[in-house]
Amino acid sequence: MKKMKDRIYFSMGYACNNNCLHCAVDCERRTKNMSTQEVIAFFERYRNYKNIEMEISGGEPTIRPDLLYLIEYLYTQINIPYILLSNGRRFSDLNFVSKLAEFPPQSIMVALHGHNAELHDKISQRKGSFNETVQGISNLYEYRLNVVIKVVLSKVNYRKMPEFVEFVAQTFPECEGITINGLDISGKALEDRDSLAYKLPDCIPYVQKAIDCANKYNLKIRIFSIPLCLFDESYREYVGLKNRTTIMCKSPEEESSSVSLFYGTADKCAPCIYKSNCSGTWYNYYKYYGTDELKPILKG
Find the part of the chain contacting ligand SF4 (CB under 6 A) among 31-39, 170-178, 255-263, 269-277. Answer: 269-277
Q: Which of 92, 251, 265, 284 lies at the binding interface for ligand SF4 (CB under 6 A)?
A: 265
- In this structure, are residues 105 and 76 in contact, taking their beta carbons and an 8 Å threshold? no
Name, in order, each residue with C-beta under 8 angstroms of 101's C-beta and a sequence gap of 6 or more.
143, 144, 145
Q: Which stretch binds ligand SF4 (CB under 6 A): 112-120, 161-169, 254-262, 273-281?
A: 273-281
Closest contact distance (angstroms) between CB of 180 and ligand SF4 is: 17
- At residue 31, the 3 state secondary structure works out as helix
In the complex, least distance from residue 276 CB atom to ligand SF4, rounded to whole angstroms: 8
Which residues ranging from 181 to 200 are in contact with ligand SF4 (CB under 6 A)? Answer: none
**Residue among 20, 278, 284, 286 that touches ligand SF4 (CB under 6 A):** 278
Query: What type of residue is 33?
Result: N
Beta bridge partners of 10: 56, 250
Comparing C-alpha atoms, which of 220, 214, 197, 272 is closest to residue 24?
Answer: 197
Q: Are 165 and 151 in contact (CB under 8 A)?
A: no
Tell me if 296 contacts ligand SF4 by CB under 6 A: yes
| Residue 92 sits in the site that holds ligand SF4 (CB under 6 A) | no
Rounded distance between C-alpha atoms, residue 183 and residue 148, angstroms: 18
> Which stretch, 56-64, 144-152, 159-167, 267-275, contacts ligand SF4 (CB under 6 A)?
267-275
Give the whole-angstrom CA distance, residue 145 versus residue 274: 34
Identity of the amino acid at 10: F
Angle between the N-to-C axes of helices 117-124 and 129-142, in degrees from 0 to 180, rounded to the nearest 10: 110
Least Å from the CB of residue 156 to ligand SF4: 25
Taking CB under 6 A as the criterion, the residue among 205, 275, 283, 289 binding ligand SF4 is: 275
For ligand SF4, give the closer residue by CB, 13 or 280: 280
Measured between alpha carbons, how far is 300 from 291 in angstroms, rounded to an integer? 22
* Shortest reach from residue 292's CB to ligand SF4, in Å: 12
> Is 242 a binder of ligand SF4 (CB under 6 A)?
no
In DSSP notation, 225-244 reads SS-GGGS-GGGGGGB-B--S
Q: Is 241 among the residues that bind ligand SF4 (CB under 6 A)? A: no
Task: In whole angstroms, give the CA distance from residue 269 to residue 296.
Answer: 6
Which of residues 20, 207, 280, 282 is near ligand SF4 by CB under 6 A? Answer: 280
Q: Cβ 297 to ligand SF4, closest distance in Å?
A: 5
Q: Which stretch binds ligand SF4 (CB under 6 A): 4-12, 33-41, 77-85, 271-279?
A: 271-279
Residue 79 Rama label (left phi>0; alpha psi -120 to 50; beta):
left
Radius of gyration over every alpha carbon of the chain, rounded to an integer in angstroms: 19
Q: 27 vs 273, which CB is nearer to ligand SF4?
A: 273
Tell me: does residue 274 bind ligand SF4 (CB under 6 A): yes
List residues near ligand SF4 by CB under 6 A.
227-229, 265, 269, 272, 274-275, 278, 280, 294, 296-297
